[in-house]
Amino acid sequence: MVQIILIRPGATDYDDEQRIQGTLDIPLNAHGDAEVARVIDDLSDRSIEAVYSPSCEPAYQTAETLSQALGIKHKKLDGLQNVNHGLWQGMKVDEVRRKHPKVYRQWQEQPESVCPPEGEMLDQAEKRMRTALAKIIKKHKQGTVALVAPEPMASLVRRFADNSELGNLWESPKVHGQWDVLDVTPALIAQGG
């Protein structure tokens, strides 16, 4: 069994402004840097073998800071890249709610059925994530690794590992600089969840 410490990146200005970040490269702000420092303190006594992240700026910056502080390897896995929100990226969540109330509600109630304009469906992102997790599990059959993933990708990882509900994906981007521990067995990957 592999223990995955699932870490949400520290906050960016887009997070503070409640803008949809998706795959945009926005650096951490001072609040985000403080959150990452707190995560490092929380995890300093754990035996983490490696930290994985996509190349998007907030996740990569969080993982690189963690890697340097804990003296562990940082590996980039683009399969963990956040969900592409297409034309919604950069918009405030409230703006989407006002301009597209039906789609807003649908994303809230049945996110798997929504494709943001010029974006991707959640099942496409989940397929990428499963392939990336399979690589991690193959390399680390047991032990502890850290995985930095932005929301809603982090919610997809969590759902895959423990069969939990996705929850309200409009609210999930408000969760940053936090972490959870997931126990993942190689059999889970082989079964596809």
Give CA–CA dist 140/133, Å, rounded. Answer: 10
Torsion sign across C-alpha atoms 102, 103, 109, 114: positive
Are residues 12 and 29 in contact, defined by beta-carbon separation less than 8 angstroms?
Answer: yes
- State mean pLDDT over 40-67: 97
Residue 92: how many CA atoms within 13 Å on its side-chain side? 7
pLDDT in tens, 69-103: 999 999 999 899 999 999 999 999 999 999 999 99
Are residues 178 and 62 in contact, defined by beta-carbon separation less than 8 angstroms?
Answer: no
For β-strands 143-148 and 50-53, DSSP reports them as parallel
Residue 31: what are its φ and ψ, rounded to 5°?
-60, -45
Domain boundaries, the chain: 2-83+121-191
Q: Could you name the CATH architecture of 2-83+121-191?
A: 3-Layer(aba) Sandwich (3.40)
Q: Bigger pLDDT: 19 or 162?
A: 19
Q: For all residues of the chain together, what is the average pLDDT?
A: 92
Cβ neighbour number for residue 16 with a 10 Å cutoff: 13
pLDDT computed for residue 162 by the predictor: 85
pLDDT computed for residue 189 by the predictor: 60
- Cβ neighbors of 127 (< 8 A, separation 6 or more) are none
Are residues 144 and 47 in contact, defined by beta-carbon separation less than 8 angstroms?
Answer: yes
Whether omega before 54 lies within 30 degrees of 0, making that bond cis, reads no
- The structure's pTM equals 0.92
pLDDT in tens, 143-189: 999 999 999 999 999 998 888 888 778 776 678 899 999 998 766 66
Query: At 71, which amino acid appears?
Result: G
